[in-house]
Amino acid sequence: MLVLEAAALQLKELESQLLASNPKLENHLALYLQVLRDGLLAAVQQACFHLATQVYPDRYGGLDQSSRQLLHRRLVQLVQRTNGLLSLERVVGHAAQIARQQQRERRSQRRRVLDSIAEFGAEQEEGLEQGPEEGRNKGPEKWPEQGPEGSVHLGMALPISSDFLIPRGERPQPAGPAESDGEGDSDGDRDGDRDGDGESDGESDGESDGDGSQDSMLAVLAEAFQDWQGKVPPSAPTPWDGEGLPTTPDQLLAWIGGFELALSRRLRNLSHALNGELLRLGISRTVVPLNLLDAALAGELELVEAPANLLRLPLPLGMEPDLGRIEAMAVLLRPADLELELAKLRTCRTRIQQHVQEVRRMAQHYRRTQRRVQALEAEQLWLQDINPAPPAPSLPP
């Protein structure tokens, strides 16, 4: 009992240490966002300057003065809108919004699995009720051939379709880099304006974020199987359930990951809006959809080296360099590029990384201690089960 109490006390002490250090992390993140807001316009102007003067100088030179002034005003307006969304509270709120979207996608995947299992079971029961003669008449896909009497036919069809393992945002989509004539009513321009306004973009992105790994898919399968058996455990707490930062190391690491994802999403939306403006004025004539921007951020595309905060894509995608491919360039603001360009931002990132490393060390210690507590509690229950307490003596009449 003393060992169990000591281990539980260690967990409480680690949570107290984390709670005491959380304000420091909030200060680091708030300072990072402040420096980012101060330097974002210059970074955007530099990226657009390179596109307009080094990549497409003929197109920029062909604009009249009013169009050029309009472009510069729009750059300032879009950055100002995004800066209004780059406070600590709004980025954290956007991270919680993305997490809720991921949970909805997870529940949808689980429902699809259950529906597929139920449909498969209904088809099997229908086939058994019809019998081999009726089933054979329906076509070779049901009863390809009839074996000896009393034999069992095992179909090779999967009980569920294979596409449920693919997150919605990673399924094949017809959208891709397409050539545009640069007119103002293009889809890319409308999408850019919508995402540049920002506050609702977390709900309208239309793809799953960060939860498309095989581990998460296997977890969905496990949950669906438990749901099918009627044994679904209560949902685990998330880093966004309460107010303030989490008080356990693992939850705090997940919270930081969500914060980084939300920040990257804000910058991606601004990039898409900027590309829409460049497309509308005819400087750029290539539409780079959001799913390709996400793939580039996730490192899923083979990219060509480009200046900071610019994306260079070979078209068509996957074409070999020696086959005369063409290249398209677009704005893609990335925290890593911004930190390379802004020394103060890089200093803020270093402080955040040091704090995160300390949280990771605490998380390892916390997990070891937590497993120790669980083992001691299980041992205690085991001893109680094999050595039940003697029944209380009955009172004399």
In a domain, 275, yes or no: yes
Omega into 397 within 30° of 0, i.e. cis? no
In a domain, 395, yes or no: no
What per-residue confidence (pLDDT) applies to 229?
59
Helical (H) or strand (E) element with 83: helix 65-84
What per-residue confidence (pLDDT) applies to 211?
41
**Which pair of tokens denotes residue 27?**
């200060």
What per-residue confidence (pLDDT) applies to 182?
36
- With contact defined as beta carbons under 8 Å apart, do 159 and 117 qualify? yes
What per-residue confidence (pLDDT) applies to 195?
43
- Structural domains in the chain (count): 1
What per-residue confidence (pLDDT) applies to 71?
95
Give the integer Cα–Cα distance in Å for 156 and 50.
57
Residue 106's CB: how many other CB atoms inside 10 A? 18
Average pLDDT over residues 102-112: 80
What per-residue confidence (pLDDT) applies to 13?
94
In a domain, 316, yes or no: yes
Summarised one tens digit per residue, pLDDT across range 167-196 is 444 444 433 444 433 333 333 334 434 444
In a domain, 149, yes or no: no
In a domain, 67, yes or no: yes
In a domain, 140, yes or no: no
Q: Which residue has the higher pLDDT, 131 or 300?
A: 300
Give the integer Cα–Cα distance in Å for 317 and 303.
10
- Domain holding 64, by residue range, is 2-130+177-381
* Region at 150 (left for phi over 0; alpha for psi -120 to 50; beta for the rest): left
Summarised one tens digit per residue, pLDDT across range 346-394 is 999 999 999 999 999 999 999 999 999 999 999 989 988 888 777 767 7
The confidence band for 286, taking pLDDT boundaries of 50, 70 and 90, is: confident
Give the integer Cα–Cα distance in Å for 305 and 190.
29
What per-residue confidence (pLDDT) applies to 210?
40
Give the integer Cα–Cα distance in Å for 359 and 241.
20
What per-residue confidence (pLDDT) applies to 388?
78
Model pTM score: 0.73
Determine the distance from the C-alpha atom of residue 194 to the mean position of all C-alpha atoms in its chain, rounded to a whole number: 20
Residue 125's CB: how many other CB atoms inside 10 A? 10
Residue 233's CB: how many other CB atoms inside 10 A? 7
What are the residues facing 314 on neighbouring strands?
327
Checking if the pLDDT of 22 tops 60, the result is: yes
Percentage of residues in the chain with pLDDT exceeding 70?
Answer: 66
DSSP conformation class of 396:
P
Determine the distance from the C-alpha atom of residue 95 to the mean position of all C-alpha atoms in its chain, rounded to a whole number: 10
Summarised one tens digit per residue, pLDDT across range 218-268 is 665 666 566 655 666 566 678 888 788 999 999 999 999 999 999 999 999
What per-residue confidence (pLDDT) applies to 332?
96
What per-residue confidence (pLDDT) applies to 328?
84
What per-residue confidence (pLDDT) applies to 86?
97
In a domain, 138, yes or no: no
What are the residues facing 328 on neighbouring strands?
313
Query: At a CB cut-off of 8 Å and minimum separation 6, what does 309 contact?
Result: 43, 44, 46, 47, 271, 331, 332, 333, 334, 337, 338, 341
Give the integer Cα–Cα distance in Å for 73 and 87.
23
What per-residue confidence (pLDDT) applies to 165?
47
Checking if the pLDDT of 31 tops 60, the result is: yes
In a domain, 396, yes or no: no
